[in-house]
Structure 1
Amino acid sequence: MRRPLPRVRRGLPLRAVAPNAVTAMALCFGLTGIRFAISGEFEVAVTMIMVAGVLDGLDGRIARMLHGESRFGAELDSLADAISFGVSPALIVYLWSLKDLPRVGWLCALILAVFCALRLARFNAQIDVSEQPHKSAGFLTGVPAPAGAALAMLPLFFWVWTGETIFRSPYLVAPWVALIATLMVSSVATYSWGSMKLRNNIRFEALAVAVLIFAALVSAPWHTVCALCVAYIVSIPFSIAGYARIKRLRAVSQGGQSAAPAAGHAGP
């Protein structure tokens, strides 16, 4: 008599629950930001988005640490990102400023939300693609969703910091939001901080800088957030130039490799 084959258990592994729970928490914080924006508490609303960004950075690391990566987790993460960093910031910025310019303002809010979803859809479609020039060179394609959300709310950060009404003007906020949304779906090469590696001789200095940034966030959060956003914007031209340099080096290397076999078959 044949022994019955062991039953294969299907479903989500238990070790994948923790990172997915963190992703769900990020989604809750992102949606809660809309609730506070509706009641006019824009500082708390922005804080909810920033907490969602921190949790978004943790869920992937927890999944890799627990070996709990799954297709379900990847899809849930993209859905949470589309809401937390696309829909929520768009509604927050609209309720804060763009509602004073109803048609154009709502159009810019829609562009931010939809372009964020398009960026995440492009990212999911390229997960199994082996040939990704930007990724293989250590760069990202376009501005990532969390950074895009922070940059789109940069006028709000300056408004909270300074109290100047100019930063709340829809004539300033609307084109700025449209520009950031365009950068999110663009093919511009941006730095991938996760793929950057530090040399051994500057690790202590990097740790000291991280401690200073954390201390600044605690003592002067809005000043520090504005400075970080401006620094990221300034880094974009350098990332474009860095990728262009790597692209040229690759072209020269490939040209040399293709020329070597041809020289070997050349006649006397």
Structure 2
Amino acid sequence: MTKQQEEAPQSGTPETFEVVEAEQRTGARYKGVYLLPNLFTTGALFAGFYAIVAAMNGLFENAAIGIIVAGILDGMDGGVARLTNTQSKFGAEYDSLSDCVAFGVAPGLVAYSWGLSELGKFGWMAAFIYVACAALRLARFNVQAETTDKRFFIGLPSPTGAGLVATLVWLGASRGVDGNDISWIVALAVAGAGLLMVSSVRYHSFKEFHIGRVPFKVLLGVIVAFAIVFLDPPLVLLSVAVIYVVVGLLLNLWQLRKRSDS
């Protein structure tokens, strides 16, 4: 998950877009926020809210796509903030609240509407476990952001957990599957994703890879990857999410075994 870093604005940046008091030529004092990165955060928040509304109206494919779009926008806001030197404490807090809606509340409600409602108490308990774990995951990330290894996430990242739930709903809805027919599978997937978010399993963040000059073959590989995704977006994206989750679990088990043998 990308977060807008809590850094003070450097000299030379326009103070009209930062949450600090500044003095205008008239002598009046005012407050402002950085506009560009927070527009991406607002877009992610809107996509999460749209997913909830779409699920309430039975448009489950649109709801799932809304969560995926929120994930894309969430991955861009922090990068834009760093690129334009517009990181701020306000942006970090706003981003976290947006994530709680888009990757916590929205996936839980979408999954509940699609395939958990007929389970009664077990259904809403599974959805609530996911929502509560997503909120706890975000709170823990905010507290530990400055002390953990940047190469790894502790626990499944909330955008990945949301993507796992969303693509499951998207795949089922696109195939005409009624989620209530596989309600126990949905419940296990939703609750499991939530528990993984608050686990101690380490997942690679890929933050050491920076966008810049790359060999031509890398660009070709990206083009091929996009082509594969567009062949069947819900199936491919769900497969990627499942592989990411399973690889993280296997690597964690392997490391635990190495420690026990040493």
- The answer, yes or no, to whether TM exceeds 0.5 is yes
Q: Following TM superposition, by how much is the alpha carbon of 1:224 offset from its aligned partner in structure 2, in angstroms?
A: 1.8
Other-structure match for 2:56: 38
Q: How many residues of Structure 1 are paired with residues of Structure 2 in the alignment?
A: 233
Other-structure match for 1:211: 223
Other-structure match for 1:25: 43
Q: Following TM superposition, by how much is the alpha carbon of 1:152 offset from its aligned partner in structure 2, in angstroms?
A: 2.5
Instruction: State the distance in 2 between where 1:69 and 1:154 align.
Output: 31
Q: Following TM superposition, by how much is the alpha carbon of 1:117 offset from its aligned partner in structure 2, in angstroms?
A: 0.7
Other-structure match for 1:185: 198
Other-structure match for 1:265: none
The aligned amino acid for 1:234 is V
Q: How does 1:25-174 map to 2 (within 5 A)?
A: 25-129=43-147, 132=148, 135=149, 138-165=151-178, 168-174=181-187
Unaligned stretches of 5+ residues in structure 1? 1-6, 253-268
Worse-superposed segment, 217-226 or 23-32: 217-226
Answer yes or no: is the 8 Å Cα contact 1:191–1:239 preserved in 2: no
Q: How does 1:229-244 map to 2 (within 5 A)?
A: 229-240=241-252
Answer yes or no: is the 8 Å Cα contact 2:152–2:202 preserved in 1: yes
SS in 2 for 1:190: strand
Other-structure match for 1:258: none
Q: Which has the higher helix share?
A: 1
Worse-superposed segment, 157-166 or 119-128: 157-166
Answer yes or no: is the 8 Å Cα contact 2:103–2:158 preserved in 1: yes
Answer yes or no: is the 8 Å Cα contact 2:168–2:234 preserved in 1: no
Other-structure match for 1:11: 31
For residues 16-40 of structure 1, give each alpha carbon's deviation from its aligned partner in whole angstroms, at most 9, with x where no partner exists: 2100111011100110011111110
The aligned amino acid for 2:71 is G
- Cα RMSD over matched residues? 2.8
Question: What TM-score do the two structures reach when normalised by structure 2?
Answer: 0.79
Identical-pair percentage? 36
Instruction: State the distance in 2 between where 1:66 and 1:80 align.
Output: 21
For residues 109-142 of structure 1, give each alpha carbon's deviation from its aligned partner in whole angstroms, at most 9, with x where no partner exists: 111111101111111112344xx2xx15x21101
Q: Following TM superposition, by how much is the alpha carbon of 1:228 offset from its aligned partner in structure 2, in angstroms?
A: 1.5
The aligned amino acid for 2:252 is I
Structure possessing the higher radius of gyration over alpha carbons = 1
The 1:70–1:17 alpha-carbon spacing in structure 2 relative to 1, beyond 3 Å, is same
| More RCO (CA 8 Å, sep 6+) | 2
The aligned amino acid for 1:160 is A
The 1:65–1:40 alpha-carbon spacing in structure 2 relative to 1, beyond 3 Å, is same
